[in-house]
Amino acid sequence: MSDSALSSNLYLLIQACLGGNVDESLCSMSRHDPDWKLMYDLSRDHQVSALLYDHLKILPHFEKIQVSCIDKLKQHSIDQAVFSMLFLRKSIELNNDLAQNNVNAFLMKGALWAWLLYDNPGLREFGDIDFFLQKEQISQGLDVLARHNFEPDAYRKYLLSKSKVAKLYFDTDYQLPLTPTGQEMVQSLEVQWNTTYPRYHFSFAWDELTQNMMSFTISGTTLRVPSAENQLLLMIIHHGGVEQWDKLKYMADLVRLLRKFGEQIDWIYIVKVTKEKGFYNILLESLGLVLTFTGENYLIFCDNNLEKHYPSKRFRKEVINHWENTRTKPVTKSWRIFYFNMINRDRLSDKLSILISHLAYMLEWRLMIPKARWYQKQTKPG
């Protein structure tokens, strides 16, 4: 029996989220009836409850499934559909206002992928709205978003209050979370100007991400977003390089993107860029997971015979292990991300660059001192 055989719960959840044909060598434990209480909990951990309910309701033995599980899944699906529509309305409103104020920005990640990749956007769960802004226009963008009652928290307002510290923050970080100051259904909005922390060397300039942008229309509004190629790169960086395929939700995104755009993607460009930036191996491991869990081979677009090597047994086992058991959310994910990239990036030179950049970040006293002062103020009594 495979040391990474799937439980019956995870096997059904993979089928619900991805469809396709799971590698038979992983299915020896998947023939038993699921534990429906554990199944519901697992679906919530992976943020795929709506996908699970959508799958279960078409099964021939639907009426035999535990009623309490079905009722909770159904209610969650209804709630998710409502939230999706509210988030869409707010996303379009913000996108239009940024454009009208000549702020270069595009909608990204969950809120975009729900509408771009899913036949029913309500099936894709997400908790915030993300916009990518051209770095030089962040101040203008924040002014626009403030008029919609979204502002940085007190800590980040403190860091941004001094121009030199603000510059260091923008040079060493990649996102600024905003919270509503009024009564808003959307409780979290994030502004990004890079793909992730620069010290991980995944960086893409605005001009790179906005080459050959594509248009798609939702609810009568046309949005301009990065090309299918750059959507794939952004997904591999975030879902793979940062989140390490932590949840089935992320794999569901990748599978749908590949099914929709895989045949037309410029794979020569994808291979070239991932090799240049040192995450070709993460791309191949990720496409290998798609092959394992759906039987669909997109590795052939990268090179010949890669299916013999990807995913590696280690990579597959690690992903299945935390899909089965979930992972405790750490106070900070920095060490987890660092370790993953030190193991999985392409070359020794890439790993040394990441290490050196982390050391330089920790020694950047002009930023560390203001951060320390802030936390010191918060711990003083009274």
The three-state DSSP-derived secondary structure of 23-55 is CHHHCCCCCCCCCHHHHHHHHHHCCCHHHHHHH
Q: b/e for 241-258, b at 16 or more Cβ within 10 A?
A: bbbbbbbbbbbbbbbbbb
Structure-token pair, residue 331: 């106070």
Q: Exposed, middle or buried by CB within 10 Å (0-12, 13-18, 19+), for 32?
A: exposed
Report strand pairing: 105-108 vs 175-180. Answer: unpaired
pTM over 0.75: yes
Beta strands in 193-316 (DSSP E): 214-218, 221-225
pLDDT of residue 84: 84
Cβ atoms of residues 204 and 241 within 8 Å = no
Please identify which residue in the block is written with the tokens 């996303």: 91
pLDDT of residue 183: 72
Structure-token pair, residue 214: 């594509």
pLDDT of residue 139: 92
Domains (ranges, CATH) in the chain? 8-379 (3.30.460.40)
Q: Is 229 helix (H, G, I), strand (E, B) or coil?
A: helix
Closest CA relative to residue 289, chosen from 344, 321, 251, 257: 251
CA angle 76, 77, 80 (to 5 degrees): 85
pLDDT of residue 1: 39
Residue segments in the chain with a per-residue pLDDT below the cut of 70: 1-4, 28-32, 62-64, 184-185, 380-382
